[in-house]
A and B are shown apart, each in its own frame.
Chain A
Amino acid sequence: MKSLYKYISIVLISLLLISCSTEIALKTEFVPQTFIYGNLTNEASYLVITIQESVPVENTSNLPKPVSNASVALYTKNSSGTTSLVTGSFIEDNENYISVPLIAPIIGNSYWIEVTLQDGTVFKSVEEKLKNVIPIDTVTKVDGFTRVHFNDPVEDRNFYKLDVASSGNGISSWIYELSNDILFNGNENAFIEVESLLGNEIEATLLNFNYETYQFYLNIVAQEDAQSDGEEDEGGDPSQLFASPPVHLTGNILNTTTNRKALGNFGVVSVSRRHENIASIFPEEINNLIYYTGNKLSNTVIINTQGGPEPKLATQEFNEILSSVNTISLLKVNVHQAQTLNPQLFTNSEITFQQATSYDAESIEKLYKVIKYFKDQGKTVYVLGISFGAFMVQELIAEKGIDLADNYLIMVGRLDMNDTYWQGFSLGQDGHFENGITPVLVDQTEIVKKNMSKLAAGLGQNRYTQKLNQYPDLSKITYIYGKVDEAVGKLTQAEIDFLTSKNAKVIEGPRNHSQTIDDYIVEGFKEAFNIE
């Protein structure tokens, strides 16, 4: 019966996808057109202008048809409005006209070319200004994409082309992407991304275009997109329904004889380049324990041990928490806990409280291993623990020493958890604090939730006012709590007194668990890590 329904639904879906493409003969008249193309960049070089004539579509040669005996001239206008000829001497090499002098353009000046064909037809490009160079800050690899980060200037409309060439393992390839700045105008951490290519050696080139040249490249992309659909396909290509009219490869070149746009473009482009190896540089045993974002070469590492406990390593929440703080140039790491590495151990059957305690100890060892790795690399390591993560950090310090990392930010945790509360949790119950003071426990049935409660109790059973008393100074710790925290309760006066007596910074927020996180993350980073 099931297979019958399956059959029916396949039929129904295929009915909607019944389109097809078939090859047909093209009847068209050939009209020869002149195409002029070149780019002038801020990097001193010989200017190459390509002048060619279109050939009939039936022509299968991939060689351009040169236009000979044309004359080319490059003009400039400086910021005070004075126009001058840069050079009129170009050497003809097939379809290319190469400038005799080396051209070193000046940022802020405008440039254009004039091309006169043998028959007297004159082409002129629209004046374009050489814009400022936008340096590439860093290149990262994120979720199947290679991202190039830069600081987008707020005062200017920017139009970018990003070229990414990658090589490694004997393969080299390149890809590009066009983008205007609508989605990141003025953003210090702006990025453009391309699909990741094979190879970890990345050569990124960021071109800062004028609008007309950007439009020309958009036209090229539109044509390439249309070309890529060109296979005969049984299923057809429904995107043809929403195809735009074919795009002429026109840019800023004008035929001044006819006053119509001509094919081609002369771009005045500022270029910045960056070479980077984006291979993961961490050993596999560390790589398997972490999720990270940001600049992996950074000398400062923020290491988080996540809250919950949850059977899944947080990535989005992790990024969201960090998004309110400027950490783009830093390496940010979230470390696996026992239950995120092997969630199936917690989802299928109920664990004992004793097991929970030993899983917590396992999690501490993993966290220790990652922190130690980065410290051994000579990096500055800041440790962040929020909620359950707060207990993790306390246990870490108690077991592995206060000098393991450089500074610690602990948010919405407790030193000495209320006894009835953790005992309830150790039996798999859930609960909350009314007004941040009175504990209330409730039963729960879901196995995974019961197990998570037990993991929480595994650390909640400890008295950290005693376990941390071994250290005379806890000034590396910044501790933030909420006055009406419903999840862990507010700190008691005894806990606060303990922390202040050991020189830890204590900050009180007026609101609940999650509000305290949102309200104080920025201040916490400033106080604990001196990061704004």
Chain B
Amino acid sequence: MKKKQFVALLQIKDVKNKNRLLMKLSLSLYLLGCLQLSAINSFFQNKISLDVKDTHLEIIMQLIESQTEYHFIYNNDAIKTNQKLDITVFKEDLDETLQLLFKRLSIKYTLKKNHIILSTTKQNNTQEKFTLSGTIKDAATGETLLGANIIIKDKSKGVITNEYGFYSITLLNDSYFLQASFMGYETKEIEIVLDQNRKLNIELQPSANELDEVIISSESKSKSQVQSTLLGVVKMRGVDIKKLPALLGEPDVTRAILTQPGVSSVGEGASGFNVRGGNIDQNLILLDEAPIYNSSHVWGFFSIFNSDAIKNLKLYKGGIPARFGGRASSVLDIRQREGSNKKFKGEGGLGLLFSRLTLEGPIKKDKISYLISGRRSYFDLFFPLLGDEVKKNRVYFYDLNTKLTWNINDNNKLFASGYFGADVMKLNFDGYTQEDGTKTADEKINFQWKNATATVRWNHLFSDRLFMNLSGIYSQYNYSLSSQDDSGGGPAGTSGSFTWKSSVENWIFKPDFTFYQSPSSKIRFGINNTLYKFTPAKISSTEEGTNTVNFETEKGLEVAPYIEYEKKEKKFSINAGLRYSWFGNIGPHKVTSYDPAFSLSVSSILGTEEFKKGKVIKNYSGFEPRLSLKYNLNDRKALKIGYNRVFQYVHLISNTAAALPFDIWKPSGTHIKPLEVNQFSSGYAYDTSNNIYNLSFEGYYKTFKNMLEYKNGADLFINKNLETQLLPADGYSYGAEIGLHKNKGKLKGNVNYTYSVTKRKTTSSFINENINGGTYYPSNYDKPHFFNLTANYKLSEKWSLGTFFTYQTGRPTTQPTGRIVVDGITHLTYSDRNAYRIPDTHRLDLSFNYTPKGNPNTKWESNWSFGLYNAYGHKNAFSTYSSFNNNQLKTFQFSVIGSPIPFITYNFKF
């Protein structure tokens, strides 16, 4: 303790600057040291008794010092100690005494260690305020760092950089020591004299290796939930995702998120993820701010995000700030890297499934940089070797991430980024010879689904304190299925081609402003404008007797202004926001009207009402309040409480266990109300001293209004009157999540346990069509007990071991209860929806990473990763199903992965 202060004094003496304020500071620090020495022998007690009248403040302060081990620290210019006061207390707490004493004087006090630091709460006219702002970057690549800390030493003030690496802090005219830190980087200390508004761009050196990180990043609290005001926010970096053992060795964003508490999925291989009882369509998945509609390759097995191109991601599952909206349960904010603006670099990998390559570098040094990152699966390249039957087929998927960053000047930056990814299946089936000797036609099937996004963003500083980001975004998801017969001739046979296309498109225009009001507070405001275009189905066929079907496109406009206020104090922090969202369906469109006396059905159609182009057909709007409060019990303990309301105006229509790539999206409208979700949450965060362990405990209660459920036997395939197959539903979910992170040492990782309940009931006013008679039943992904363990163990300089273990309650299922006979054929009767559960599931994954010492003379670095997915080969049930054959009922358990899957990946960097 004393040694540290001594070092600080020495450092200050070295400083050449002879600024008066600095001298004063050094003096008071010196004084502090002396006082501390003298305090060693003083009588330790914290109860104070005073009874003085018309006494100088200075004297009262001396009296307090004499009765406690505390000492006052203050600036003589700011605090007038010659004013006279009365005070009477008897065996009172120090805190109470100080409150009584200073509350009339506009003097603020802070207790730190055994110091009482005094400051004025009034605006001090003699001292002007100036703003320090700039960007924090990686010194090696020029990549901006998001969420890096800038701490004003000894002021216990700090800010973090925003999504674009920008920070701004306004302080009194003075000289300061800044500490800039970020996990995985060496902390940098900078002295600055703030006698005018200043720009300070800081570059941090990546730490040379993990061991250094342990020492240097002791201030960084990346897994700590104590700092963040918001509840339930998970942060991950691209490198964190790569450390997890992965299916076929392919680092995967969705699977990484599934290691977190409160996040579940229906089962292995199911697309998307469920956050705190929300459906998969309730996650706002943003890639460089562009919403993504289908986040999976290979029918749900792999996420579409290339971890090489990802800088970091943030999952908001509890406190969703007002700047986000449109999806009701969570926000997954993924940011792409910008590419090095210093030197050309590359990295890549060869795996069992994908090969990856990323190239980045400056176009103009320090000014313009690019990043291009692609992946392609390549097992189909081996198809020709598998014989004629397989040879003609093509099954592959690929994605491409690109980004261009232009640092125009300190006040302007331009980013352009794009994503394109597709799954392609081209299958050729040879015709076969029928019993009568004729041959059927060859058939070609071409099935593809694609995501494409394009984002252009402009960062502009209006002043040092007003930051603007203007985004123009286009996002599209589409799929197409075409088949073509090509008869080889023969007496009978026909031919025809058939294509089916469907898409959803978004155009977004979004100005966002941040005003840095004070070092501890900022205001964000802006407006999100989204134009949606849904093309449900376009079907054409050349075959005689078949029509061309072209379901009308649906257009929707969502406009959502918001304002968000964020303040962080020593004890209290608040993030309060209000969002107002308006959604309207825009013509031209024909709306079917139904007889209100009957449930929506083809037989209750009365007619259609036609709306002209540009006309608002139906609109919904509402206020969405967001509030998060945090109270710090001390530096390492915090209590949090929060409330959110979110409206959602687009819905994924899917009635299958795992969502299909050709499920369609549908906007709210005349027959479908917007989903409303309210969430109450509270939490407790605790960091052990020196931050080795971070513990968090959170609880939530969520209500869902106007979810979509499906009628018994719903027919959703190319259905023009989709609303006739839907039922409105309300639901609730609640749960408790406990997470423990270990951040340092050879063994790092986290364990978490979640208890949760997720239920819903259909609320049709025609009660006989309600599922389970209108009573609550568990959602498909309701898994009450959920345990995850992730660990990384550094075996040696070259070797490390990664493990992941999960245990989950089996998901609900519907089982047969009896039999009936229809036209001589046995059929089953079933229990209520989701009345039973499939067996519990558990799985262990292991990975070994080997990083050989590279040749120091070349830039080439490489590592090998290999391991086992589902290491002990447990057959985890995805579902159970029963069938009645040969007069006997048999029940089966279906496992997507029923054995251990080994993997090996080679990664390189240059």
Binding site for B on A (CB under 8 A): 2, 5-6, 8-10, 12-13, 15-16, 18-33, 35, 37, 52, 54-64, 141-144, 149, 157, 159, 182-187, 189-191, 196, 198, 210-212, 215, 218-220, 222-224, 226-232, 236-238, 240-250, 254, 259-261, 263, 280, 282, 287-288, 290-293, 312-313, 315-316, 319-320, 322-323, 328, 336, 340
Residue B822 lies at the interface, judged by CB distance under 8 Å to chain A: yes
Residue B388 lies at the interface, judged by CB distance under 8 Å to chain A: no
A333 to chain B, nearest CB (A): 10
21 contacts between A and B (CB under 8 A): A9-B385, A24-B880, A33-B820, A62-B824, A62-B887, A144-B432, A144-B434, A183-B546, A227-B883, A241-B896, A242-B656, A248-B712, A249-B820, A250-B713, A291-B491, A292-B492, A293-B493, A315-B489, A316-B487, A316-B495, A319-B495
- Tell whether, in the assembled complex, residue B489 and residue A312 are in contact, meaning their CB atoms are under 8 Å apart: yes
* CB within 8 Å for A21 and B768 given contacts A2-B385, A31-B831: no
Q: A279 vs B298: C-alpha distance in the bound complex, in angstroms? A: 44
Residues of B within 8 A of A236 (CB): 894-896, 898
Name the CB-closest residue of A to B717: A182
- Which of B602, B660, B885 touches A230 (beta carbons < 8 Å)? B885
- Which of A8, A227, A247, A336 touches B382 (beta carbons < 8 Å)? A8
- Tell whether, in the assembled complex, residue B547 and residue A185 are in contact, meaning their CB atoms are under 8 Å apart: yes
Q: A340 vs B488: C-alpha distance in the bound complex, in angstroms? A: 10
Residues of B within 8 A of A8 (CB): 382
CB interface residues, B 538-555, toward A, < 8 Å? 539, 541-547, 549
Name the CB-closest residue of A to B780: A245
Name the CB-closest residue of A to B660: A242
Binding site for A on B (CB under 8 A): 248, 269-270, 298-301, 352-353, 379, 382-383, 385-386, 432, 434-436, 440-441, 484-497, 539, 541-547, 549, 601-603, 605, 655-658, 660, 712-715, 718-720, 767-769, 773, 814-822, 824-831, 833-834, 836, 839, 875, 878-885, 887-899, 901
Ranked 9 nearest A-B pairs via Cβ: A230-B883, A9-B382, A54-B818, A316-B495, A315-B487, A20-B898, A189-B545, A26-B891, A64-B821
- Which of B547, B769, B887, B893 touches A184 (beta carbons < 8 Å)? B547
Q: A54 vs B603: C-alpha distance in the bound complex, in angstroms? A: 30
B826 to chain A, nearest CB (A): 6
- Tell whether, in the assembled complex, residue A263 and residue B829 are in contact, meaning their CB atoms are under 8 Å apart: yes
B528 to chain A, nearest CB (A): 33
Q: A52 vs B269: C-alpha distance in the bound complex, in angstroms? A: 41
Residues of A within 8 A of B882 (CB): 26, 57, 230
Residues of A within 8 A of B824 (CB): 62
Q: A63 vs B822: C-alpha distance in the bound complex, in angstroms? A: 10
* CB within 8 Å for A240 and B881 given contacts A184-B546, A246-B830, A259-B767: yes
Residues of B within 8 A of A293 (CB): 492-494
Q: A220 vs B825: C-alpha distance in the bound complex, in angstroms? A: 10
* CB within 8 Å for A223 and B352 given contacts A29-B817, A323-B544: no
Residues of A within 8 A of B881 (CB): 226, 229-230, 240, 243, 246
Q: A248 vs B875: C-alpha distance in the bound complex, in angstroms? A: 29
- Tell whether, in the assembled complex, residue A6 and residue B601 are in contact, meaning their CB atoms are under 8 Å apart: no
- Tell whether, in the assembled complex, residue A230 and residue B495 are in contact, meaning their CB atoms are under 8 Å apart: no
- Tell whether, in the assembled complex, residue B549 and residue A182 are in contact, meaning their CB atoms are under 8 Å apart: yes
Excluding A183-B547, A198-B435, 7 further A-B contacts by CB distance (< 8 Å) are A5-B385, A28-B836, A54-B820, A143-B494, A230-B882, A230-B892, A261-B768
- Tell whether, in the assembled complex, residue A10 and residue B896 are in contact, meaning their CB atoms are under 8 Å apart: no
- B386, B489, B655, B715, most chain A CB atoms within 10 A: B489
- Tell whether, in the assembled complex, residue A319 and residue B543 are in contact, meaning their CB atoms are under 8 Å apart: yes
* CB within 8 Å for A223 and B496 given contacts A59-B819, A236-B898, A340-B489: no
- Which of B485, B602, B897 touches A143 (beta carbons < 8 Å)? B485
Q: A331 vs B165: C-alpha distance in the bound complex, in angstroms? A: 73
Residues of A within 8 A of B496 (CB): 316, 319
- B353, B432, B890, most chain A CB atoms within 10 A: B890
- Tell whether, in the assembled complex, residue B492 and residue A57 are in contact, meaning their CB atoms are under 8 Å apart: no
Residues of A within 8 A of B888 (CB): 60
- Tell whether, in the assembled complex, residue B895 and residue A22 are in contact, meaning their CB atoms are under 8 Å apart: yes
* CB within 8 Å for A223 and B601 given contacts A6-B385, A12-B382, A313-B489: no
Residues of A within 8 A of B379 (CB): 9, 12-13
- Which of B485, B493, B494, B822 touches A37 (beta carbons < 8 Å)? B822
- Which of B386, B487, B769, B815 touches A10 (beta carbons < 8 Å)? B386
Residues of B within 8 A of A219 (CB): 712-713
* CB within 8 Å for A328 and B817 given contacts A19-B897, A246-B830: no
Residues of B within 8 A of A288 (CB): 491
* CB within 8 Å for A19 and B821 given contacts A54-B829, A340-B489: no
Residues of A within 8 A of B893 (CB): 21-24
B551 to chain A, nearest CB (A): 9
Q: A63 vs B493: C-alpha distance in the bound complex, in angstroms? A: 43
A356 to chain B, nearest CB (A): 22
* CB within 8 Å for A18 and B382 given contacts A260-B773, A316-B485: no
- Tell whether, in the assembled complex, residue A52 and residue B892 are in contact, meaning their CB atoms are under 8 Å apart: no
- Tell whether, in the assembled complex, residue B887 and residue A60 are in contact, meaning their CB atoms are under 8 Å apart: yes
- Tell whether, in the assembled complex, residue A280 and residue B492 are in contact, meaning their CB atoms are under 8 Å apart: yes
Q: A229 vs B893: C-alpha distance in the bound complex, in angstroms? A: 12
- Tell whether, in the assembled complex, residue B818 and residue A250 are in contact, meaning their CB atoms are under 8 Å apart: no
* CB within 8 Å for A211 and B655 given contacts A187-B547, A189-B545: no
Q: A472 vs B824: C-alpha distance in the bound complex, in angstroms? A: 71
Residues of B within 8 A of A62 (CB): 821, 824, 826, 887
- Which of B546, B715, B879 touches A218 (beta carbons < 8 Å)? B715
Residues of B within 8 A of A52 (CB): 820-821
* CB within 8 Å for A30 and B820 given contacts A211-B603, A226-B883: no
Residues of A within 8 A of B539 (CB): 183
